[in-house]
Chains A and B, each alone.
Chain A
């Protein structure tokens, strides 16, 4: 696809300029103002990119000018490429004003190649962009036809490449302008003029490029496009007959997409770890929603629930017109996992010995994923023991899917409540006979201790030796206090 007026189309969209005024984009080069892009009116008046602004004004006194914005043009083109993901995941940028879209196997979703190309141009026209598009067997031929064919929409049937390209100028082969001019000077104006030439003599004079481009255009040499975004291996898409504004409508489409995607995953023996949902809005914006799973999953209903929480956060604008669902990360997944995921009651401890200690039961994976996707995976954890005699270090919180080596909980596990920051209390006596904590005075009837805990010098820890006391007040409340450097600190509560 070629957007011949991309920069000026963009400028017109941003600035209200009467549609009958010719418009050019202007930038300064070496102190001279030069036209970098001209719209169709300016071009019809003879103003071409590269002309000086003074010359252009002389030709067209009513010329509107705006500063060129090449960076903005490139960024917007990249966004357009993402939007074209509605047609295919394989979209590559082509220079400053073109895109390649690999629609292999995708056209039928849009009612055929002709319907696809018409749809694309129609949508771009609605946004103020003049696009020329061609469908061909090779990127090189599509490039040439889009720029040099008579009509703005051309579909080249298979096997007619050589004939279709024959009459086009050699510059249609994506050659540097100087090389194209040199070929033309030698009388090689049309691509057909190159067909009979011995490849060796062409190469002697012009290097390998013309022959290579010719082979690529004719499909004799492979030319892979480099998609802007890596194409996920598993992706399903659906174009909506009518744009939808309703969360229910989005959910219904998602349901179908999930069903299809999960079938594909099942056939491949894979499970998804991350799903990306792209919603293509009528106004050309793409809303992306990702969900993660803690274990590979391909149960449509469980996955739908992960999305369910967030579908209402999608702003449909004036409507969602297409959706694509991709498994952006997959992992091999056995059927056993699926059985467990479905919760068939298969819950023996034996065959999953290594996982028996995990709170993240496969049975619960979808539940944990729902929590994680809504609340954040960092907010859910499980505790595993850690070798340390400091109570606050004797436990670490890890993600639910982390496999931890088996370890024992300490024999003296400490209190049930442990404060992250010990609270300093006013205490009388050593050990305290009473202390004041949260505006309440606790009279101590029983004290056990002290248990001395030294800083772990091998960790480079600094600090004082702490003398811990278990204290019980007159009501039976049990506290864990320590004295350090003359102060008393409440560190935890026993049950």
Chain B
């Protein structure tokens, strides 16, 4: 039955395309609790979203992830990353140092339009010489997200959409459908700490962690894993 076989083949293709977004090898973050929950480290070669309204915190967490990706596999010669935004932007590159990302290895892009920014991001995701690409953009539509996810899988480069909640609330951002493989939400917590929540992990389990920085070394530590797969109990959250 060649006709039936063809239909089945086509259906298989459809299923494969709608299956969980492909992710590449893991990049250990050096945070054992987080690495374990992620299955060995941060998945590479995929699209991820980072949502943060306190904003400084989300950008800092994204810088930390990019910094780890930059030295992953080549510790002595960090690979460059692309960090793009719309218009003027307010990234202060020296501030990246504290999160382990060398500003000299960051290509800064100030795009004139969301379309330009998405185009540059897609190009970057297909550029294997890059360690990662970040675009400060309040989400993207599903089609654009899918394009980015495919580009990331093709180029093996990890992409981040950093949503700053300029137009949408955190709840709206967190509830939107997306083609991203991972979705993070990062908020500031008193004492210079971050609350990092993994809202979505295709084929994995969500979780919430409190990260803090070691005062002498600036190294990030997991201060507390609040929950695995279940909503954070209010009592455990030090807010």
Contact = CB atoms under 8 A, between A and B. Distances in A.
Q: Give the contact-size bracket for chain B.
A: 35 or more
Interface in B100-156: 103-112, 116, 119-120, 123-124, 127-130
Contact of B97 (A343, A409, A472): A409
Q: Give chain A's interface secondary structure class.
A: mixed
Contacts of A371: 109, 120, 123
Given A343-B129, A417-B55, A445-B190, A356 B77 contact: yes
B187 A476 contact: yes
A274 interface: no
Given A413-B94, A445-B190, A347 B77 contact: yes
A371 to B, nearest CB: 6
Contacts of A477: 54, 56-57, 188
Interface string A318-362: 000000000000000000000000010001110000001111110
A492 interface: yes
A393 B116 CA distance: 28
Q: Give chain B's interface secondary structure class.
A: mixed
A485 interface: no
B192 A343 contact: no
B91 A379 contact: no
Contacts of A368: 107
A363 interface: yes
Given A413-B94, A478-B192, A495 B103 contact: no
A495 B55 CA distance: 7
B77 A415 contact: no
A306 to B, nearest CB: 12
A380 B110 CA distance: 7
Contacts of B63: 416, 495
Interface residues of A, number: 53
A494 interface: yes
Of listed B61, B104, B189, B194, residue having the most chain A CB within 10 A:
B104
Given A359-B80, A477-B54, 19 more contacts: A347-B74, A349-B77, A357-B104, A367-B123, A375-B116, A380-B107, A382-B103, A391-B94, A413-B95, A416-B91, A417-B55, A418-B90, A446-B190, A475-B188, A475-B190, A476-B54, A476-B187, A476-B193, A478-B56
Contacts of B96: 416
A352 B78 CA distance: 14
A219 interface: no
25 contacts: A343-B129, A347-B74, A347-B77, A357-B104, A359-B80, A359-B105, A359-B107, A364-B127, A368-B107, A375-B111, A383-B93, A383-B94, A383-B106, A383-B108, A391-B92, A391-B94, A395-B93, A409-B103, A416-B98, A417-B91, A476-B54, A477-B188, A478-B192, A492-B90, A494-B56
Contact of B99 (A347, A385, A394, A495): A495
Contacts of B216: none
B18 interface: no
Contacts of B103: 382-383, 395, 409
Interface string A459-495: 0000000000000101111100000000000001111
B226 interface: no
A495 B59 contact: yes
Of listed B92, B108, B109, B189, residue having the most chain A CB within 10 A:
B92
A368 B59 CA distance: 23
A364 B105 CA distance: 12
A383 B104 CA distance: 6
A474 B187 CA distance: 12
Which 4 A-B residue pairs are closest in the complex by CB-CB distance? A495-B60, A383-B93, A416-B95, A418-B92
Contacts of B61: 495
Contacts of A380: 107-109
B239 interface: yes
B129 A363 contact: yes
Contacts of A381: 107-108
A477 B124 CA distance: 32
A420 B90 contact: yes
B212 to A, nearest CB: 11
Contacts of B190: 445-446, 472, 474-476
A300 interface: no
A419 B128 CA distance: 33
Given A367-B124, A371-B109, A414 B95 contact: yes
A86 B48 CA distance: 50
Nearest to B77: A349
A361 B78 CA distance: 11
Contacts of A376: 112
B59 A475 contact: no
Nearest to A492: B92
Interface string B185-208: 001111111100000000000000
A415 B95 contact: yes
Contact of B56 (A343, A400, A417): A417
Given A359-B107, A367-B127, A380-B107, A416 B59 contact: yes
A364 B129 contact: yes
A414 B92 contact: yes
A374 B92 CA distance: 25
Contacts of B76: 349
A370 interface: yes
A410 interface: yes
A394 B93 CA distance: 10
Contact of A413 (B98, B104, B129, B130): B98
Contacts of B129: 343, 361, 363-364, 367
B77 A493 contact: no
B172 interface: no
A397 interface: yes
A355 B81 CA distance: 16
A359 B54 contact: no
A478 B188 contact: yes
Nearest to A410: B94
Nearest to A370: B123
Contact of A367 (B60, B94, B108, B130): B130
A495 B239 contact: no
B107 A476 contact: no
B4 interface: no
B189 A493 contact: no
Contacts of A476: 54, 57, 187-193, 239
A139 B128 CA distance: 55
Contacts of B59: 416-417, 495
A347 B96 CA distance: 24
Contacts of A364: 80, 107, 127, 129-130
Contacts of B99: 416, 495
A395 B92 CA distance: 8
